[in-house]
Structure formats: structure tokens, C-alpha cells
């Protein structure tokens, strides 16, 4: 089978899975209840949350800029910000939560090499995960007794895995020694593209990584705030700590390329997780869809920017 045909069939399968999962969850919750939740929503908190979501893109773009500067890349901030908005567009509509990251690497243009783009994009994404799970670990001692033991353990294990794996990745020497005997294309100790990318990761340096982590904490706090505002807009009583604990699980799960933009997967997770703090199925699904709109809004802006750049001949060829 031709690779393009196989990819098209995979995307079609993901679309069908997304639609089936979403329809099944909505059917279980009740469409009338969902519409009623939307009808009762307060537009004030929602509008503020939407604004916060859009402002989150320049915050993350600045985080990436710090990492690019640390490895000697020379991209102006307007370009970094543009690529981040474009990435948000592809993240909102592609079958994975990291499709936009790939686009950022491919569209980097002059000022940074492909390994510099790939390495800094990976560190950029990873520092976001680290900060998110650091916040979850900070909230866990105050709320673990209100959660089922299995959920609290899952959060602790995921956080520990992310932190330990990141430390191993940034350390550099151990992974280079482990992969030294691998084929050249897969070794992190050689001069192939993968090794060059890993050199960029370890070249970011402690100062830039710590700066990226601080920016990530700020961004993730705004993300939690926007989701809390979504709950307020829907007039849902959800304890604030729930967002610190549940959002990392949802964000990690959305990276799995099994549906289009996480449709169905996101809603199922929100029902499962927020049901533990008293939300009904329709309420959790309404919260999930409202949260998705915060990804969709900057994504639409990014799509307009991407189209405009193509029309004006500014896109990399």
C-alpha cells in the first residue's frame, strides 16, 4: 500500500474513532442536558478565559525564544510567535497533540537549523510537562485524601516518571553511553541528525532550562485559571485543586494519536476524572468542550496567519 494511501486511511480511522467516541459519550450524557448547560452559561468568565488562552501563545513563544537564543539560533520574536500560533492551528485539527510541534520544526526557516528547531521544540514541550506535574505534586498533599487511592497514585507515578525521565534526558552522558552501540542513525553519541538534535537539547544549558520552567509555571497557572473560569462560566462547583491534579493527565493522554484533536478521548477523561469531584456526565462534557474552545480560538487565529503568510509569499518553501 502506498504510504500516502496508508496515511489517509489512518486519518480516516481516527476521524471515525473521534466521531464514534464523541457521539457515544454525548449519548450517554444526554444532549438535552448538554444544551441546557450551555444555555445557562455566563459569558463574562468565558470571555476572560478565552482572552487568557490567546495570551498564552505569546507566553509559550517567549519560552521557546529563550531556548532558541541559548543554542545560538537567531529568530526574531515575531517569527517565533507566528510559528507558535501556526502550531496551535495544527494542534487543534491534526490527529495528535504534537502535530503543531512538527510544523514548527518544518517551518523554522532561516536563523535556525533543523536540529536546533527540533531540539528546542522538544525541550520547550518537555518543560511545560515538567511544570504541570510539579504543580500537581505541590497540590497532591492537600487533596490526595479526597481522591480514590488509585487516582492519587496514578498522578504521583506520572509526575515521578516525567521528572525522572526529563532529568535523564537533560543529563546527557548516560543516554549517550547507552545508545553508543546503536546503529548510527539511532545513536545519540554520533553525528547523525538524531545525535545533532540531542546535542542541541543538552546545549540549552541549566540557565535557559530553568528560565523555561519558570515561564512554564506561569503559563500553566494561566491555563488552570482559564479552565477554572470555564467551570465558573458553566456555574459548576469544582474545587480549584482538581484542575491542578486532573489537567496533567488529560494533556498527556491527548498526545496519543488515536483521535482528531483528542475528540472523545478528552470528553471521556473529563467524565472519569471530574466525576470524582461531583460533576455529572453532561457537566464534565460541557467543561471539556468549553476547554477545547480555548485551544480552538488561538488555533483559528494561527490558521488565518498561516493562510495569509502563504498568500503574501512569506511562508518557507
Residue 17 domain-assigned? no
Q: How many CB atoms lie within 10 A of CB 233?
A: 23
Cβ of 206: how many Cβ atoms within 10 Å?
9
Query: Do the domain assignments include residue 61?
Result: yes
Q: What is the mean pLDDT of each run of 10 residues along the chain (317 residues)?
A: 52 54 59 64 90 94 96 92 91 70 87 92 93 90 79 86 90 90 87 90 93 96 94 90 88 68 75 87 87 87 82 54
Nearest to 264 by CA among 95, 141, 78: 95
**∠ at Cα 59 (57, 62), nearest 5°?**
110
Residue 150 lies in a domain: yes
Q: Does some domain include residue 154?
A: yes
CB contact set of 216 (below 8 Å; sequence gap of 6+) = 63, 127, 128, 130, 131, 132
Q: CA 263, 217, 146 angle in degrees (round to 5)? A: 70
Reference 57, options 92, 106, 102; nearest CA is 92
Write the secondary structure of the chain as one string of H (helix), E (strand) and C (coil).
Answer: CCHHHHHHHHHHHHHHHHHHHHHHHHHHHCHHHHHHHHHCCCHHHHHHHHHHHHHHHHHHHHHHHHHHHHCCCCCCHHHHHHHHHHHHHHHHHCCCCCHHHHHHHHCCCCCCCHHHHHHHHHHHHHHHHHHHHHHHHHHHHHHHHHCCHHHHHHHHHHHHHHHHHHHHHHHCHHHHHHHCCCCCCCCCCCCCHHHHHHHHHHHCHHHHHHHHHHHHHHHHHHHHHHHHHHHHHCCCCCCHHHHHHHHHHHHHHCCCCCCHHHCCHHHHHHHHHHHHHCCCHHHHHHHHHHHHHHHHHHHHHHHHHHHHHHHCCCCCC
CA–chain centroid gap for 142, Å, is 26
The CA distance from 229 to 113, in Å, is 40
Enclosing domain of residue 237: 40-311
In a domain, 30, yes or no: no
Q: Quote the pLDDT of residue 317.
A: 47
Q: Tell me the whole-structure pTM to 2 decimals.
A: 0.84
Q: Looking at residue 55, what is its pLDDT?
A: 94
| Overall number of domains in the chain | 1
Looking at the domain assignment, is residue 9 inside a domain? no
**Has residue 15 been placed in a domain?**
no
Amino acid at each position: 500500500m502506498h504510504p500516502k494511501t496508508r496515511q489517509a486511511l489512518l486519518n480516516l480511522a481516527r476521524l471515525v474513532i473521534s466521531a464514534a467516541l464523541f457521539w457515544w459519550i454525548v449519548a450517554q450524557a444526554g444532549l438535552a442536558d448538554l444544551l441546557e448547560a450551555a444555555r445557562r452559561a455566563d459569558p463574562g468568565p468565558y470571555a476572560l478565559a478565552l482572552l487568557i488562552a490567546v495570551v498564552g501563545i505569546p507566553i509559550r513563544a517567549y519560552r521557546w525564544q529563550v531556548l532558541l537564543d541559548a543554542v545560538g539560533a537567531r529568530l526574531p520574536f515575531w517569527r517565533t510567535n507566528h510559528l507558535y500560533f501556526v502550531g496551535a492551528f495544527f494542534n487543534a485539527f491534526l490527529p495528535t497533540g504534537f502535530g503543531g510541534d512538527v510544523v514548527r520544526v518544518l517551518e523554522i526557516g532561516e536563523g535556525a537549523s533543523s536540529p536546533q528547531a527540533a531540539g528546542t521544540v522538544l525541550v520547550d514541550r518537555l518543560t511545560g510537562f515538567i511544570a504541570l506535574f510539579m504543580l500537581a505534586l505541590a497540590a497532591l498533599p492537600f487533596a490526595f485524601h479526597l481522591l480514590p487511592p488509585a487516582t492519587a497514585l496514578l498522578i504521583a507515578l506520572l509526575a515521578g516518571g516525567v521528572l525522572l525521565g526529563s532529568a535523564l534526558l537533560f543529563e546527557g552522558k548516560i543516554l549517550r553511553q547507552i545508545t553508543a552501540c546503536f546503529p548510527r542513525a539511532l545513536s545519540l553519541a554520533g553525528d547523525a541528525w538524531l545525535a545533532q538534535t540531542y546535542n542541541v537539547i543538552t546545549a540549552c544549558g541549566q540557565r535557559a532550562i530553568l528560565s523555561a520552567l519558570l515561564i512554564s509555571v506561569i503559563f500553566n497557572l494561566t491555563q488552570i485559571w482559564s479552565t477554572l473560569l470555564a467551570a465558573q462560566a458553566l456555574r459548576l462547583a469544582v474545587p480549584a485543586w482538581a484542575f491542578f491534579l486532573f489537567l496533567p493527565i488529560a494533556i498527556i493522554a491527548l498526545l496519543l494519536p488515536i483521535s482528531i484533536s483528542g475528540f472523545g478521548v478528552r470528553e471521556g477523561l473529563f467524565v472519569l476524572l471530574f466525576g470524582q469531584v461531583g460533576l455529572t456526565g453532561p457537566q464534565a462534557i460541557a467543561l471539556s468542550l468549553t476547554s477545547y474552545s480555548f485551544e480552538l480560538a488561538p488555533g483559528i487565529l494561527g490558521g488565518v496567519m498561516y493562510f495569509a503568510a502563504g498568500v503574501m509569499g512569506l511562508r518557507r518553501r
